[in-house]
């Protein structure tokens, strides 16, 4: 087998960069780290790494996510490739970007200290290295597209939540208010909510009922992509 056509080509590095979103009950946030090596050492960055010879890009992204969060089974989706010639001053690097959704309360705070990581509201994110701001904005745009057709926003919530908290999440994603009555009507029409016989008493005297999402109906709606936002 003649492989000379492969050997004669320039070798390019492939990396993965992970945009990690979380919701604190009020704001949609992104998890950023301080870069630990040159170039741009000490500046804010997305979490990423090079793809190893023995792994695919999905495996590399899962490895990076686990290193930073300590979590497995995270909702993760490939975003797109970023390959501008001069995107990394150290060499020719093509990045495959992924975005992930996690429940902030499940995040391992010890790993946050180890990686000098910090949650930033999207409206207050610092200047990022290379083209990482472009990646972050692209991921925010994709998230809005996805939650309009799929109930993936539940990945950002704890196992049980109130309808006001659910509405706050979608308002944070879209950065705009929703009419309460219409929002609740649309969400209930999906059939993905199970009402619990338990109330959250902290927000009001009357209290709001807790809900959880129905896994079976969630998967059905996710496959059929019924638009609801």
- Per-residue confidence in pLDDT tens, the chain, 229 aa: 766 676 777 789 999 999 999 999 999 999 999 998 999 999 999 999 999 999 999 999 999 999 888 888 889 999 999 999 999 999 999 999 999 999 998 887 777 778 889 999 999 999 999 999 999 999 999 999 999 888 888 899 999 999 999 999 999 999 999 999 999 998 888 888 999 999 987 666 678 999 998 877 766 655 554 333 3
In this structure, which topology does domain 152-224 adopt according to CATH? Arc Repressor Mutant, subunit A (1.10.10)
- Sequence-distant (≥ 6) Cβ neighbours of residue 163 within 8 angstroms: 184, 187, 208, 209, 211
CATH 3.90.79.10 domain extents, the chain: 4-147
Instruction: For the domain covering 4-147, report its CATH number.
Output: 3.90.79.10
C-alpha angle 56-60-63 in degrees, rounded to nearest 5: 140
What whole-number distance in Å separates Cα of residue 205 and Cα of residue 188?
Answer: 24
pTM: 0.89
CATH 1.10.10.10 domain extents, the chain: 152-224
**Model pLDDT, residue 227:** 39
Q: Dig out the tokens for 69 from the structure.
A: 């969060």
């Amino acid at each position: 087998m003649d492989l000379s056509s492969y050997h004669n080509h320039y070798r390019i590095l492939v990396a993965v960069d992970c945009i990690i979103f979380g919701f604190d009950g009020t704001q949609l946030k992104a998890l950023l780290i301080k870069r630990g090596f040159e170039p741009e050492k000490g500046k804010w960055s997305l979490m990423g790494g090079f793809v190893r010879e023995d792994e695919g890009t999905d495996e590399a992204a899962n490895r990076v996510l686990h290193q930073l969060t300590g979590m497995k089974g995270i909702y993760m989706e490939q975003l797109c490739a970023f390959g501008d010639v001069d995107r990394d001053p150290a060499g020719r690097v093509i990045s495959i970007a992924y975005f992930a959704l996690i429940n902030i309360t499940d995040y391992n705070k010890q790993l946050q200290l180890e990686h000098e990581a910090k949650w930033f509201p999207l409206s207050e994110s610092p200047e990022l290295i290379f083209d990482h701001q472009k990646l972050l904005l692209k991921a925010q745009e994709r998230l809005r597209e996805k939650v309009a057709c799929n109930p993936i926003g539940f990945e950002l919530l704890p196992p049980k939540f109130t309808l006001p908290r659910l509405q706050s999440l979608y308002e944070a994603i879209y950065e705009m208010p929703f009419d309460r009555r219409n929002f609740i009507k649309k969400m209930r029409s999906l059939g993905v909510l199970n009402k619990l016989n338990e109330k959250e008493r902290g927000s009001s005297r009357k209290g709001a009922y807790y809900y959880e999402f129905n896994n079976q109906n969630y998967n059905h709606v996710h496959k059929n992509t019924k638009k609801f936002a």
